[in-house]
Amino acid sequence: MLAAIAVHICYGVQLTLENKAANPGAYAVKRQLKASFASENMIWTGLLLLAFIGYHLLQFTIHGTPDVVVGLDAVNRPDVFKMVVTSLSNGLIAIVYMAAMVMLFLHLSHGIPSFLQTMGWNNEKTIPVFGTGGKVVSAFLMLAYISIPAVILAGILK
C-alpha cells in the first residue's frame, strides 16, 4: 500500500508541476468553465491527507501519541477497539479525523472521475455519470468514516 501511495504522490506532483509549467502566468480574468474546487485543490487535499495518514499511523500503529491507551484483548494482542474509542473520545482528535474525511471526499470526488477518464473509459454519455458516481462514492465513504468518531463522541460506542 505504501508503494502505491508513493507512486500516486510522484504522479500527482508531476502532474501539478506540468500544469504549472503549461501556464506560468496568471490570467487577468479567471473563469472556470469545468474546474471545481476539488480539482483546483487536489495537491492541497492530497498533502493534507498525507499528513493525516502519517498522524494516523503514528497514533494507532506506532502508538506514538500520548492519547492512545494500549490495552490487551483476551488473546493478549493490543485492544484496537479500546485504542480507537479512547482516542476518538477526545473532541479535538475526533474533529481532526472528521476534517480529514472531508479532505478525502474532496480528493476522491475529483480523483475517481479523473481516473476513469485517464483510463479512457469515458465518452460524452459517461462523463456526467462518472462525475456523479465519483461524488456519490466519495460522499458515502466520507459519511461512513465520519460516523465512527461521531458515534463515539455521541456516547453510543463506549
pLDDT in tens, 52-73: 999 999 998 898 888 888 888 8
Sequence length of the chain is: 158
Q: Which amino acid is at 32?
A: Q
**pTM of the predicted model, to two decimals?**
0.85
- Which domains are seen in the chain, by residue range? 2-153 (1.20.1300)
Residue in the block written with cell 477518464: 117
Residues 6+ apart with CB under 8 A from 12: 42, 43, 46
Question: Taking residues 17-27, what's their average pLDDT?
Answer: 80
Q: What is the mean pLDDT of the chain?
A: 90
User: How would you label 30-69 residue by residue, b for 16+ Cβ within 10 Å and e otherwise?
Assistant: eeeeeeeebeebbbebbebbeebeebeeebbeeeeeeebe
